Amino acid sequence: MHKKAFIFAIVIVGLLAGISSAQSSDTERKIVTQVAPAYPELAKKMHIRGTVKVEAVVRPNGTVKSTRVLGGNPVLIVAAQDAVSKWKFETAQNETTQVVQLSFDGQ
């Protein structure tokens, strides 16, 4: 069973790597409120560290409309998406796309 989970994780990482045709944001909007991601229990137990790249579509009022993972360990991506979805950016005239990276260092 342990081998199946490992193979599954490898396949997911490969799929996520294929998705990484990241759009860079037209304008960098400053982050007003940043929520730190909760370090997943499974990641703690498995001593998983790494970086997750997330694309956030930000409304003109600064709230996050949607997120999409561009890369990272499958064990960490849900926590990263949950955190970024709670972020608040400075206001702008239009909706923008921001690419952010969250680091998980095992703490």
Per-residue confidence (pLDDT) for residue 82, from 0 to 100? 97
Alpha carbon distance 41, 30 (integer Å): 30
Q: Quick check: 99 pLDDT over 50?
A: yes
Which class does domain 2-104 fall in? Answer: alpha beta
Task: Decide if 8 contacts 15 (C-beta within 8 A).
Answer: no
Tokens of 41: 């229990």
Per-residue confidence (pLDDT) for residue 96, from 0 to 100? 95
Domain ranges of the chain: 2-104
**107 band by pLDDT with thresholds 50, 70 and 90:** low
pTM of this structure: 0.73
Q: Quick check: 7 pLDDT over 70?
A: no
Q: Is 23 helix (H, G, I), strand (E, B) or coil?
A: coil
**93 band by pLDDT with thresholds 50, 70 and 90:** very high
pLDDT tens profile 11-66: 343 333 333 333 334 568 999 999 999 999 999 999 999 999 999 999 999 999 99
Higher pLDDT, 103 or 16: 103
Closest among 46, 34, 31 to 80, alpha carbons compared: 34
How many CA atoms does the CB half-sphere of 16 hold within 13 Å? 22
Query: Please, what is the Cα angle at 23 between 93 and 97, to 5 degrees?
Result: 25
Alpha carbon distance 69, 77 (integer Å): 7
Neighbour-count burial of 27, counting CB atoms closer than 10 A to its CB (0-12 exposed, 13-18 middle, 19+ buried): exposed
